[in-house]
A and B are shown apart, each in its own frame.
Chain A
Amino acid sequence: MDHTELLFFTEVLVGGLLSGVMYSLVAIGFVLIYKTSGVLNFAQGSMVLFSALTFVSLVERAVPFWVALLATFALMVLLGLSIERLVLRPLVNKPPIILFMATLGLSYIIEGAAQLAWGTQVHALELGIEDLPLEIAGVFISKFDLFAAAIAAAMVTVLTLFFQYTRVGLAFRAVADDTFAAYAVGLRLPRIWATVWTAAGFVATVAGLLWGARLGVQFSLSLIVLKALPVLVLGGFDSILGAIVGGLIIGAAEKLAEVYLGPYVGGGIESWFAYVIALGFLLIRPSGLFGQKPVERA
């Protein structure tokens, strides 16, 4: 491999890693909810769409940036609270698969409602970051991707601090560790679930703005859930660190495969390649990268 090829390889790799960060951003929302309530929330993608669509529609109606952001977030809080009250509470103690199916239904409702309220056309979202390539040691890196990575890092730091050093965070961890014991010592599970769905709504808003700025705000935003699932399988459904590392691996592998493997099979492999990586990995290590290791993976 000569110098130019090496440079090109690095560029592809870095680009892949940075887009992996974007996957992690979505995956973290899943982990939050899965950790505390054992629900694989398929509606996370539609929450991303809902928040991005609400925000961009408000901004287009000349609402100032910060007001629109606050309003969107308030709406996500409301959404989280009503999901807890109307969907989760009646289904408490049901098998996880039933709860998963309920979130499938939920994603249909949220997608439908979002587009019924704000329309189905594609919106451009401008966050005020120039997407100029930045040259570092001969490798071109997208400035926007760097910005997104920084936001993701900041968010993870905030979440980690929150989990480690606040009372609510402690309650979260207690519920994640042993729901029954947490309930027995008097933690109010419905309140914790409502909070965690709110937190997931916050993550969805951040992801929605960044993804929306990149792809345009449209229906396909809710499909990024499908990009996050292999990341979760790889990293383990219950590990934030796993979501990040998994995202980086999937992002990098996907881009490298697209560039170096794609030409041989005719391209377009990114729709399933991530799943193959995740499955191949699981065959070797069934508990994922950082997932808890029960005797049997259930």
Chain B
Amino acid sequence: MSGTSYLFDAILTPLLALSLAALGLNLLTGYAGQLSLGTAAFMAVGAFAAYNFNLRVEGLPFVISIGLAGLSAAVVGIFFGLPSLRLKGFYLAVSTLAAQFFVQWALTKFDWFSNHNPSGVIDAPPLVLFGITFGGAVGRYLFALTVVTAVTLLTLRLLNTQTGHNFIAVRDHELAARVIGVPVLRTKLLAFAISSFIVGVAGVLWAFAYLRTVEPHGFNLDRSFQILFIVIIGGLASIRGAFFGAALIVVFPLVLSRVGSFLLGSYFDSGVLDMSQRIVLGVLIIAFLILEPRGLASLFDRLVRFGKR
């Protein structure tokens, strides 16, 4: 693989997909204050829904498939968000795990979702937006970039509306929010719906722009945690943070493997790499929570201010 296509295929495209997923989770967790541990499930719903819409509806433009995939994820999101009407905090977080396990089970068990592929693997359809086919490493990156830019702009817009303010009100003080007339229950479900929509679209990008062949197992609990870690490292309630966090999460394993094999030579095999990656990631999470709880986004702001001085 040449240098450029490696840069796009292995770094930039997954970075965009993960950023978008983190953006979706950040809307729910950072802005609306509802912790979810089932992000990967909604990515999976998005990916498999887009695949099926594209496969089964003749002549449907791919952009519509993406939209429908987002909507499917939103519907599933509302369903698994229903417990949020009665549960809070840890109880809710645990209930979102139900989504994680149920979706993964259903996608593996019912092979209709993967068009009867025995191992549940699906292949990417061609990426077409408004009549333009996006092929090759750079093409797939541009496709992802277009989708991510559009969704990010819409999200920024959303946060400046009453709905966005309601999210923050519910997060900061639910009772106070209710007293001043914020429809708390509706706001929570809306947060689940919009967040799942974005995460679902991110799943489509992850599956079709980055991996191109996916199986349900790729959307496991570790993926959900990875997205949560991006949000923590990047900064809760920060749009920029999602991108910073994703950049760190994508780049640091590559750096770690280079540094590790440089320092330790052949002792640093893939098993050791895997384990040290886990350890470093864990240390990073705790370090950020203790030293920089508002994440890379706030670190960046301070650097900018420092630079201006």
Q: How many residues of B contact A (CB 8 A)?
A: 40
> What are some 9 contacts across the A-B interface (CB < 8 A)?
A102-B286, A104-B229, A108-B278, A109-B286, A226-B97, A226-B101, A233-B94, A275-B95, A298-B88
Q: Is A96 a contact partner of B90 (Cβ separation < 8 A)? A: yes
Segment 186-239 of A: residues with Cβ below 8 Å from B: 226, 229-230, 232-233, 237
A109: chain B residues at CB < 8 Å are: 278-279, 282-283, 286
Complex CA distance for A65 and B90, rounded to whole angstroms: 38
Interface residue B156 (Cβ < 8 Å from any Cβ of A): no
Task: Using CB atoms, name the residue of chain A closest to B33.
Answer: A97
Q: Mark B274-306, 1 if CB is under 8 A from A, else 0.
A: 011111011111100110010000000000000
A-chain residues with CB within 8 Å of residue B148 when the two chains form the complex: none
Contacts A105-B289, A275-B97; A112 near B282 (Cβ below 8 A): yes
In Å, the complex CA distance between A115 and B277 comes to 12
Question: SS class of chain B's interface: helix, strand, loop or mixed?
Answer: helix
CA distance A112 to B280 in the complex (A): 9
Q: Is B249 located at the chain interface by the 8 A CB criterion? A: no
| Contacts from B to A (Cβ < 8 Å) | 35, 83, 86-91, 93-95, 97-98, 101-102, 104-105, 108-109, 221, 225, 228-229, 232, 271-272, 275-279, 281-286, 289-290, 293
B38 to nearest A CB, angstroms? Answer: 10
Q: Which residues of B contact A105 (CB under 8 A)?
A: 229, 281-286, 289
Q: Which chain A residue has the least Cβ–Cβ distance from B231?
A: A101
Q: Do the beta carbons of B279 and A271 come within 8 Å of each other? A: no
Q: Closest CB of chain A to B245's CB: distance in Å?
A: 13
Across the interface, do A283 and B271 meet the contact criterion of CB distance under 8 Å?
no
Whether A91 is near chain B, meaning CB under 8 Å from some CB there, is yes
Q: Is the CB of A266 within 8 A of B282?
A: no
Given contact pairs A96-B90, A100-B93, a sample of 8 additional A-B residue pairs in the complex whose CB atoms are under 8 Å apart? A86-B286, A91-B289, A91-B290, A106-B286, A112-B282, A116-B272, A226-B97, A269-B105
Please give, as numbers and ranges, the residues of chain A lying within 8 Å of B97 by CB-CB distance: 226, 229, 275
Determine which of B86, B90, B277 lies in contact with A237 in the assembled complex, contact meaning CB atoms within 8 Å.
B90
Q: Are A111 and B278 in contact (CB under 8 A)?
A: yes
A104 touches B86 (CB 8 A): no
Of A94, A101, A233, A272, which one neighbours B91 at CB under 8 angstroms?
A: A233
Contact with B along A132-151 (1 / 0, CB 8 A): 00000000000000000000
In the complex, are the beta carbons of B289 and A98 less than 8 A apart?
yes
Which residues of the partner chain A approach B232 to less than 8 Å between Cβ atoms? Answer: 101
Bound complex: CA of A283 vs CA of B286, how far in Å?
Answer: 34
Best-surrounded residue of B88, B94, B228, B282 (most CB of chain A within 10 A): B282
Picked from B87, B271, B278, B283, the residue with its CB within 8 Å of the CB of A282 is: B87
A90: CB under 8 A from chain B?
yes
A20→B232 CA distance, assembly (Å): 34
Q: Does B293 lie within 8 Å of A98, measured CB to CB? A: yes
